[in-house]
A and B are shown apart, each in its own frame.
Chain A
């Protein structure tokens, strides 16, 4: 499979492209992870995250690959794994010399640590149409004209107003109104 075709298929979320990449490059990623303090389960997880990021990159209209897919995947995977190792080492380095109690010391820290998970949970409970609209806009970076056409809104402005309403509804559901 040539590289342009791989990119096109990945962008279209075609399973054959992801399966091809897994067969070709999982061995390489697994070797890297297992030789750097990880195990095969870590390798599976990192490889899936790598493919998700690769997929997200291919969604951008101006995406151009300036190296081989293999090199690109290896670089993403390496970054993900190094970040995880860094996080692990930070945790290991913590040595309490007093009994530790997990409490938030101020409102702002509470907002940052807990709100993301709350927002994700609220989104799962949001109406299908609202969720779809917000995902199209924020994750897939589609413009309001595209969204209006795909979701049968009268026009882009209607879709935009609906998006604001959905965001406000989501905010209410997170319980911080």
Chain B
């Protein structure tokens, strides 16, 4: 690598190159490893100079500040303290709402998938009671021949959906419908 290239690099780090000269230097660096390395070294030297003086300035400033007693430093109150408080409250509300939403979604999924523990608990109780009925109540004692009749009456004593029960021994030769009507009227 010749002195001309080194001068070009020195002028480059000094910001003295024209656009054409920068392109020329880039071409040299692209094709010459030693030129690239030299440019790199000079750039590091340039940064080293800046760092060196920066450290000196920092030392000078630290010395200027060292003489100030702590009580002279102004008390600080955050200018965004209030909005911080409001922000915190809003964050809590958002967190709670999010929690409810997530819990609701999980509950719905569990119910539909049949994994919801409360549902399982009651299902088990009902299943147990049904089993009890089947095991301990003789089937022949259960009267399955139940007849439902809907009758229409203007009798104010009767209300909509009232249930009237007529036992077999109350029929006395009448049909079940006649017996129901009679009982409804006497109510």
Interface-centre pick from B10, B37, B52, B60 (highest chain A CB count, 10 A): B52
Contact partner of A48 among B49, B62, B67, B74, CB < 8 A?
A: B62
> When the two chains form their complex, are residues B7 and A139 in contact, meaning their CB atoms are under 8 A apart?
no
Interface-centre pick from A22, A31, A120 (highest chain B CB count, 10 A): A120
* A70-109 interface code vs B (CB 8 A; 1 in, 0 out): 0000000000000000000000000000000000000000
- Judged by a CB distance under 8 angstroms, whether A66 is at the interface is no
A: contact size bracket: 35 or more
Give complex CA distance A174, B72 in Å: 45
Contact partner of B58 among A19, A26, A52, CB < 8 A?
A: A52
- Judged by a CB distance under 8 angstroms, whether A63 is at the interface is no
Stretch at the interface among B38-46, B117-125, B158-166, B169-177: B38-46
Give complex CA distance A32, B54 in Å: 24
Contact A22-B41, Cβ < 8 Å, known A123-B52, A139-B54? no
Give complex CA distance A15, B52 in Å: 21
A177: shortest Cβ distance to chain B, in Å? 9
> When the two chains form their complex, are residues B61 and A18 in contact, meaning their CB atoms are under 8 A apart?
yes
> When the two chains form their complex, are residues B10 and A167 in contact, meaning their CB atoms are under 8 A apart?
yes
- Judged by a CB distance under 8 angstroms, whether B103 is at the interface is no
Contact A137-B14, Cβ < 8 Å, known A48-B62, A111-B41, A123-B52? yes
- Judged by a CB distance under 8 angstroms, whether B20 is at the interface is no
Give complex CA distance A118, B68 in Å: 35
Contact A111-B61, Cβ < 8 Å, known A22-B68, A52-B54, A123-B49? no
Tell me the A residues contacting B by CB distance below 8 Å: 13, 15, 18-19, 22-28, 30-31, 48-49, 51-52, 55-56, 111-112, 115-120, 122-124, 134-135, 137-140, 160, 163-164, 167-168, 170-171, 174, 176
